[in-house]
Amino acid sequence: MKQEKKVEKLSLLMDVAKSIMAEMDTISLMTVIVGTVTKVMDADRSSLFLIDKETGELWSLVAQGMSQSVIRLPMGKGIVGYVAQTGITTNIPDAYEDDRFNKSFDLKTGYRTKSILCMAMKNQHSEILGAIQVLNKLDGTEFSEDDEDLLAAFSSLAGISLENVRAYEELEKEKNSLEIKVQERTKDLAEAKKQSDDLLLNILPSATAEELKTNGKATPRDYEVVSVLFTDFKGFTKKAEKLSPNALIDELDRCFYYFDGLMDKFHLEKIKTIGDAYMCAGGIPKANKTNPFDAVLAGLEIQGFILQMQEEKKQKQELYWDVRLGIHTGPVVAGVVGMKKFAYDIWGDTVNTASRMESSGEVGKVNISGATYNFIKDFFDCTYRGKIPAKNKGEIDMYFVDRIKPEYSKDDLGKEPNELFLQKLKEMK
């Protein structure tokens, strides 16, 4: 759900780019920016202060919850003054615990400021133009690092838009060099749009993202041969109880960050993480014939990485993870469904069977189904486990992948393919 929420907000940012770039005067643009950032950040209120270059003060006409009159603050005073002066993002869980916070407004109006996220707004030359301040998450939680990243993307877009408006207002007075300056600002907008597109492409496959932007929806596709890989940490809940939340997230992030790096290397598509489980697949969104091999090679490398982590943890006498890993190959349907909170996903019995391969496996092993084995058996040494009972699936032929066959292996342990192996895979494509 967190990833889906992020996609929804990124999609909203792309729409916002068009609306704020349509504004051609500073006050109108400030109004749109404040109204939009409140919605994007799921906040209760927002305000936008700009730097007056002539006086060195901060000023605003747009601060939600305050009267529509010019507000002026000395540079460096209060939270927004501090951020505008230093450029340092300030994320405050409890405003009343921060000495820079001025409680007078709350006392006057009865409003209760709780959490504050304040960030400098800069132009394309990294010059500070002012500061955007958002107050009180609607769900009562504190502003997170994801919120900071989202506000940074919005602030970048708003800063470029503000520079565009200022340039337009100047050019209304001075018509000279209009064409050159508009071209420069248009280039900045294109770069900002590219940043938003890149964020979207980090979540969805490129073809799916493009189809969504063009048509507003993506048509699900059938794939005949897809290899689905699941990992899961054995005893995660009990071990997690012995770690602080920060240490737990750091450990998961280290593992999943490494897994993410294998996606491009082995032509796999990350589907999602569910708690401590990691799910990916080969053969989508672009179909190929090598996905069973790609998934197994990735599985061997994942278990090798986990083994290395275990050795490090044992030497430090720290808790370490044991990972089960399962792979199954078969048909799936892939795509994006619904109108909001887009997320690329796959469906079908193949997904369920792959999950059973993981849960029926053993730690440190790559457990594969008979279907996957039939694809890769000529390249890997495997141990037949027999027909293993799997929940809601009956008995399934299962195999442990021991190693790459010696004639196809670059190393003695059989974990890395040699040139002959890679050439054979190339011929399959």
- Tens digits of per-residue pLDDT, 79-120? 999 999 999 999 999 999 999 998 888 888 888 999 999 999
Give domain limits for the chain.
Answer: 2-201, 217-428
Report, as an integer, the average pLDDT of 215-242. 85
Which range, of 27-31, 112-116, 245-249, averages the lowest pLDDT? Answer: 27-31
The bridge status of strand 366-369 relative to strand 322-335 is: parallel
| Cα–Cα nearest to 189, from 214, 162, 213 | 162
Per-residue pLDDT at 207: 63
Which range, of 63-67, 212-216, 287-291, averages the lowest pLDDT? Answer: 63-67
Angstrom distance (rounded) from CA 353 to CA 398: 11
Assess whether pLDDT exceeds 90 at residue 267: yes
Angstrom distance (rounded) from CA 121 to CA 131: 5
What percentage of the chain reaches a pLDDT higher than 90?
Answer: 49
Assess whether pLDDT exceeds 60 at residue 238: yes
Which range, of 160-174, 245-259, 341-355, 358-372, averages the lowest pLDDT? Answer: 160-174
Per-residue pLDDT at 146: 86
Angle (CA) 186 187 190, round 5°: 90
Assess whether pLDDT exceeds 50 at residue 56: yes
pTM: 0.55
| Cα–Cα nearest to 274, from 256, 250, 254 | 256
The 3 state secondary structure assigned to the chain is: CHHHHHHHHHHHHHHHHHHHHCCCCHHHHHHHHHHHHHHHCCEEEEEEEEECCCCCCEEECCECCCCCCCEEECCCCHHHHHHHHHCCCEEECCHHHCCCCCCHHHHHHCCCCCCEEEEEEECCCCCEEEEEEEEEECCCCCCCHHHHHHHHHHHHHHHHHHHHHHHHHHHHHCCCCHHHHHHHHHHHHHHHHHHHHHHHHCCCCHHHHHHHHHHCCCCCEEEEEEEEEEEEEECHHHHHCCCCHHHHHHHHHHHHHHHHHHHHHCCEEEEEEECCEEEEEECCCCCCCCHHHHHHHHHHHHHHHHHHHHHHHHHCCCCCCEEEEEEEEEEEEEECCCCCCCCCEEECHHHHHHHHHHHCCCCCCEEEEHHHHHHHCCCEEEEEEEEEEECCCEEEEEEEEEEECHHHECCCCCCCECHHHHHHHHHHC
What is the maximum span of the chain, computed from C-alpha positions, in angstroms? Answer: 83
Per-residue pLDDT at 350: 96
Assess whether pLDDT exceeds 90 at residue 301: yes
Burial state string for 11-28 with b = 16 or more CB within 10 A and e = fewer than 16: bbbeebbeebbebeebee
Angstrom distance (rounded) from CA 95 to CA 113: 6
The bridge status of strand 221-234 relative to strand 322-335 is: antiparallel
Whether 2-201 shares its CATH topology with 217-428 is answered no
pLDDT band at 236 (very low <50, low <70, confident <90, very high): confident
Per-residue pLDDT at 336: 78
C-beta separation of 243 from 299 below 8 A: no
Angstrom distance (rounded) from CA 281 to CA 263: 9
Angstrom distance (rounded) from CA 349 to CA 140: 40
Angstrom distance (rounded) from CA 60 to CA 214: 38
Angstrom distance (rounded) from CA 17 to CA 161: 8
Assess whether pLDDT exceeds 50 at residue 1: no
Side chain identity at 6, as an amino acid letter?
K
| Cα–Cα nearest to 184, from 132, 126, 123, 131 | 123
Domain 2-201 classification at class level: alpha beta
Q: Who wins on pLDDT, 313 or 161?
A: 313
Per-residue pLDDT at 338: 61
Report, as an integer, the average pLDDT of 28-50. 86
Assess whether pLDDT exceeds 90 at residue 232: yes
Sign of the alpha-carbon dihedral angle for 148, 149, 152, 157: negative
Residue with tokens 């909170």: 341
Angstrom distance (rounded) from CA 327 to CA 346: 15
Side chain identity at 260, as an amino acid letter?
D
What's the pLDDT tens digit per position in 336-385? Answer: 766 665 677 899 999 999 999 999 999 999 999 999 999 999 999 999 99
Side chain identity at 412, as an amino acid letter?
D
Which range, of 155-164, 178-187, 202-211, 239-248, averages the lowest pLDDT? Answer: 202-211
Per-residue pLDDT at 421: 94
Assess whether pLDDT exceeds 90 at residue 34: no
Per-residue pLDDT at 21: 61
CATH dotted code for 217-428: 3.30.70.1230
CA dihedral 367→372→374→375, nearest 10 degrees, is: -120
What's the pLDDT tens digit per position in 6-15? Answer: 566 666 666 6
Per-residue pLDDT at 386: 95
pLDDT band at 246 (very low <50, low <70, confident <90, very high): confident
